[in-house]
Structure 1
Amino acid sequence: MSAMNEQDFGADPTKVRDTDHYTEEYVDGFVDKWDDLIDWDSRAQSEGDFFIQELKKRGAKRVLDVATGTGFHSVRLREAGFEVVSADGSAEMLAKAFENGRKRGHILRTVQVDWRWLNQDIHGHYDAIICLGNSFTHLFNERDRRKALAEFYSALRHDGVLILDQRNYDGILDVGYGSSHTYYYCGDSVSVYPEHVDDGLARFRYDFQDDGSTYYLNMFPLRKEYTRRLMHEVGFQQIETYGDFEETYRDEDPDFFIHVAEKAYREEE
């Protein structure tokens, strides 16, 4: 492996609990393998048009994708007729997203951002912000999480919506890991599992069978109600939480939770 393909977590990887470290985790080799993990066609089939419908029923037209990754949702939303700006903290991810968009006939409008100072780099207001792919769990302290959510809130129009997802860390912490990756990570040549979990860290291991490569991500295990409380406290009025795209679920069952948070003020009926 070249230096650009090597991750560095130091002598004790479970001690790496720093918001800014994720930019070093998405090395070129891992980014190049990311689409093997997702499998765009399978993922599109598994999640259907959930996000498209959630945005359309709120009349959203201008969307900011703050966790673009390799571009899956940015491209899907563009193809569904939305105006999309694609942002990410990883330059490597944005380069791959731009390349993927071009292959599919789209020129993505990309911008590298740090969510904590989002509005320094993103101008104007958006009908919707999407923060998907478990990306919010890269933030390791509450101050960073509150700052990012406040920046999202500020970048939205008065009636805007934030759609943010996260792994079901409640299930992982309380019951154990049993994900089948039915909806999000659809690649069949990749195994994903948490190598270490405690209240302050979920260290996931990604094994790629085709070439035997292994990569890791260190993430903060957000609990569902904690995330919802932070959203309320920064100002979001109405929050609906889905489990793997379904309104009703047992808390331990979903692989992912999806929070749909509305900024608009509604008087209680």
Structure 2
Amino acid sequence: MTDTQPTVADGSPAGTRNETEDPAKIRRTDHYKKEYVQAFVEKWDELIDWEGRAKSEGRFFIDLLKKRGKVLVLDAATGTGFHSVQLLKAGFSVTSCDGSAEMLAKAFENGRQRGLILNTVHADWRWLNRDLAGKFDAILCLGNSFTHLHEERDRRRTLAEFYAALKHDGILILDQRNYDKILDEGFSTKHKFYYCGDQVSAEPEYVDESLARFCYRFPDGSAYHLNMFPLRRDYTTGLMKQVGFTSVKTYGDFTEDTGDADFLIHVAEKSYGE
């Protein structure tokens, strides 16, 4: 026998965290790795509905990048590959990154089915530049993914890693749910823009100032959960500026009207834009 205390997968002492832990108390950055189980990943495209999503966002990201002359793009939260595929088809050079190996495998398969070979990288954002070489014209962090970071030090470090991975005139495009609206007014959405699957529901089961626990229910009766940090808009844009981004413009649901938007899209410039 040894004096070493056994640990579980997330590094915590064995017996301190287990399946009986209150899910509304789980506020750890690495928890998403346990949430994106293979069965959930396989159903993710039912939630997105690629055709519906393509119609809802149109050429928003393509035009935004082309207007600024960006070519080398890091899709930092590629998920099942929707945006990587759209950008590749539009002529961009894309590197597809995700912290979930299961998501990356699904993204690669989705690309292959469409005649594309995705350049995939499995990386933790907090140590992004350890796993990636070179600089990018633009980094996309979409799908409300930044809210998987539950601790402020992880959010600051991730933004700093994104900043360092950009060229001197690079841009970061980061989206999030409109948590101000959820926290202040309650949840209401028809998911016209992001989660377009009409047979799937994605709604919060629990919300407070440091946790939004969403439940995703599918037609076969299965349900999966994601615990996320409810980022307020001013907090997010403030962090971006604190790590060095010189200006941030925010869009709401692919327009300039952010008031009643379901999702906010922040475009942060590493140097002042036009």
Q: Same fold (TM over 0.5)?
A: yes
In the TM superposition, residue 266 of structure 1 has moved relative to its aligned partner by 6.2
Residue 222 in 1 paired to residue 235 in 2?
Answer: no
In the TM superposition, residue 248 of structure 1 has moved relative to its aligned partner by 2.4
User: Residues 189-204 of structure 1 correspond to what in structure 2 (within 5 A)?
Assistant: 189-204=199-214
User: SS at 1:203's partner residue?
Assistant: strand
Q: Which residue of 1 aligns with 2:118?
A: 108
Q: Which residue of 2 aligns with 1:243?
A: 252
Q: Which residue of 2 aligns with 1:263?
A: 270
Higher Rg: 2
Instruction: Provide the C-alpha distance between the structure 2 equivalents of 1:165 and 1:143, rounded to a whole number of angstroms.
Output: 19
Q: Which residue of 1 aligns with 2:5?
A: none
Instruction: Provide the C-alpha distance between the structure 1 equivalents of 2:190 and 2:167, rounded to a whole number of angstroms.
Output: 37
Residue 64 in 1 paired to residue 71 in 2?
Answer: no
- 1:17·1:140 contact (CA, 8 Å) conserved in 2? yes
Runs ≥4 residues deviating over 3 A: none
Q: How many residues are treated as equivalent by the alignment? A: 257
Instruction: Provide the C-alpha distance between the structure 2 equivalents of 1:121 and 1:257, rounded to a whole number of angstroms.
Output: 29
Q: Which residue of 2 aligns with 1:3?
A: none
Q: Which residue of 1 aligns with 2:57?
A: 47
Instruction: Provide the C-alpha distance between the structure 1 equivalents of 2:163 and 2:205, rounded to a whole number of angstroms.
Output: 34
Q: Deviations over 1:84-126 (max 9, x none)?
A: 0000000000000000000000000001000000000011000
TM-score of the superposed pair, with normalisation by structure 2: 0.92
Q: Deviations over 1:197-223 (max 9, x none)?
A: 0001000001101x1100000000000
Q: Structure 2: which 5+ runs fail to align?
A: 1-17
CA root-mean-square deviation:
1.1
- 2:258·2:264 contact (CA, 8 Å) conserved in 1? no
Q: Structure 1: which 5+ runs fail to align?
A: 1-7
Instruction: Provide the C-alpha distance between the structure 1 equivalents of 2:138 and 2:224, rounded to a whole number of angstroms.
Output: 32
User: Among residues 81, 90, 97, which one is paired with 2:100 in the alignment?
Assistant: 90
**How many percent identity over aligned positions?**
67
User: SS at 2:194's partner residue?
Assistant: coil
